[in-house]
Amino acid sequence: MARVNFINKDGSISTVEAPVGLSVLEIAHKHKVDLEGACEGSLACSTCHVIIDEKDIKKLDPAKEEEEDMLDFAFGLTKTSRLGCQIIMTEKLDGITVRLPAATKNIMLG
Ligand code: FES
| pTM (whole model) above 0.95 | no
Q: What is the pLDDT of residues 7-46, one digit of tens each?
A: 999 999 999 999 999 999 999 999 999 999 999 999 999 9
**Residue-wise pLDDT tens digits, 71-99:** 999 989 999 999 999 999 999 999 999 99
DSSP H helical ranges for 1-110 = 24-30, 65-71, 105-109
- Residues contacting residue 16 through CB under 8 Å, at least 6 positions apart: 3, 4, 6, 27, 30, 31, 33
Ligand 1 binding pocket (C-beta < 6 A) is 25, 37-41, 43-48, 70, 83, 85
Domains of the chain: 2-99 (3.10.20.30)
Separation CA 78–CA 1 (nearest Å)? 29
What's the CA-to-centroid distance between 90 and ligand 1, angstroms?
A: 19
Closest ligand 1 atom, residue 43 Cα: 3
